[in-house]
Amino acid sequence: MDASERDRRAADARLAADRLAAEGVEGVALTWVDTSGITRVKAVPLARLPHAAAWGAGAAAVFDAFLVDDGSVRGRYAGGPVGDLRLHPDLSRLVPLAATPGWAWAPGDRFDQAGEPHPLDARWLLRRELDRLGGLTVRAGFEVEWCVSRGPGDEFVPATTGPAYGMIRLVELAPYLRAVLAALAAQGVVVEQIHPEYAAGQFEVAVAPDDPLGAADTVVLVQETVRAVSVAHGLRATFAPKVVAGQVGNGRHVHLSVLRDGVSAMAGGTGPFGLDRDGEAFAAGILARLPALLAIGAPSVASYLRLVPSQWAGAYACWGLENREAALRLVASESANIEVKCVDAAANPYLLLAGLLAAGRAGVVAGARLPEPVPDDPEALTPGERAARGIVRLPPSLSAAVAEFEADEVLAEALGPAVVDTVTAVRRGEIALFDGAGDEAVVAATRWRY
């Protein structure tokens, strides 16, 4: 980052600060998502925004090695007290926070002191993967699930007792859900659906697709907006993979569509269910690498309490048309896409999308083909039937997913040695953290971290 670039950023920030001041903003939250999936923040007074835009806000490099409990590990590329980074706001996403009056938000990009991108910055990694797509364009969107609790303690007390998907839940929490919609709309987030979900006190919001970087930014904004609205209504929101042991957990599914030269590769083709050659190959690339991708898409020990068969979590590495038990679901609609169901909100969305794009791109390069689709719940098949059809269970534990991740050459090349080593170190740190802990203890320790 040279002097002219710093000057340009500062000038843009001064204009933005003038606009925000007129709207009553006094502080700006700059966020990034760490390896353990926690959204971290540094904030600056509005008057300091031009300096932060040009020179960044200081942020210790150790955050890359943080665990879910705020402890940390040491890896070859991250950890320890030495080193500092500069967190620069992306002013193109700067927005006043409707549910947090007086504050604005922008996602941050981390650079080293010389102004070079930090190799462990997941937002930068995602940009790099987007640049490697060649003639393909990918659109992405998230479905965000969360559970709402009533009461001041750490126990989960459902804020509504209505039935799954029931209108009772909407009626009981209508002012709250209206406030969520209003806040998201005020921030420019286009909501496609909001509805009660299956688990106790659970809701879901689906937002319109965007380019993958925009989609990752938006999901951070959505979750922190829901959190803020919940606090304002005397409620507490959790996006944790498992909120109550033994019950259905929260997912954060990713929808992906592929286009070449502006034409969908997910419909109108001669492949299965209308997929064209690129769409099928992209989906096949992801399906082949789902076991390894779980280390970044289902990265918590608690994730594997959610990822169980017959709970619509996608516990088997298979695909199918509108099959909600398949890890990869083909959605045949006016905007055909694939849905990755086996991932959750413990994931860093930037890192996850970078991995998904790398896997999809590898499938396109190799001309990969999908296996036969699975038309029903794979758990209902006998082990012999699953084996004959090549249907395998996804890794049942974080340690098994990490082993797959370490062995995957495509993800290693795409993410680089620093990311692979740090992800592995953090995952093993969390495995050790919960070694010997029962389900209840794991859930209690992670319930309010996401």
Query: What pLDDT, on a 0 to 100 scale, did the predictor assign at position 1?
Result: 80
Measure the CA–CA gap between 414 and 17, rounded to whole angstroms. 37
Residues in the chain: 450
Nearest CA to 309 out of 374, 238, 237 is that of 374
Helices (H) and strands (E) in the chain, counts: 14, 16
- Give mean pLDDT in consecutive 10-residue pieces for the chain, a chain of 450 residues: 92 97 98 98 98 96 96 94 94 98 98 94 97 96 97 92 96 98 98 96 97 98 98 97 96 97 93 95 98 98 96 94 96 90 98 98 97 94 92 96 98 97 98 97 97
Query: What pLDDT, on a 0 to 100 scale, did the predictor assign at position 152?
Result: 80
Measure the CA–CA gap between 286 and 112, rounded to whole angstroms. 32
Whole-number Cα distances in Å, 30 to 24, 69, 91, 315, 355: 18, 21, 10, 35, 24
Query: What pLDDT, on a 0 to 100 scale, did the predictor assign at position 83?
Result: 86
Query: What pLDDT, on a 0 to 100 scale, did the predictor assign at position 151?
Result: 78
**DSSP string of 174-218?**
HHHHHHHHHHHHHTT--EEEEEE-SSTTEEEEEE--B-HHHHHHH
334 token code pair: 């006016």
Confirm if 270 and 276 have CB atoms less than 8 A apart.
yes
Query: What pLDDT, on a 0 to 100 scale, did the predictor assign at position 341?
Result: 97
Confirm if 331 and 255 have CB atoms less than 8 A apart.
yes
How big is the chain by its Cα radius of gyration, in Å?
A: 21
Confirm if 287 and 319 have CB atoms less than 8 A apart.
yes
Domains of the chain: 3-118 (3.10.20.70), 128-446 (3.30.590.10)
Measure the CA–CA gap between 141 and 316, rounded to whole angstroms. 22
Query: What pLDDT, on a 0 to 100 scale, did the predictor assign at position 332?
Result: 87
Query: What pLDDT, on a 0 to 100 scale, did the predictor assign at position 305?
Result: 97
Measure the CA–CA gap between 345 and 348, rounded to whole angstroms. 8
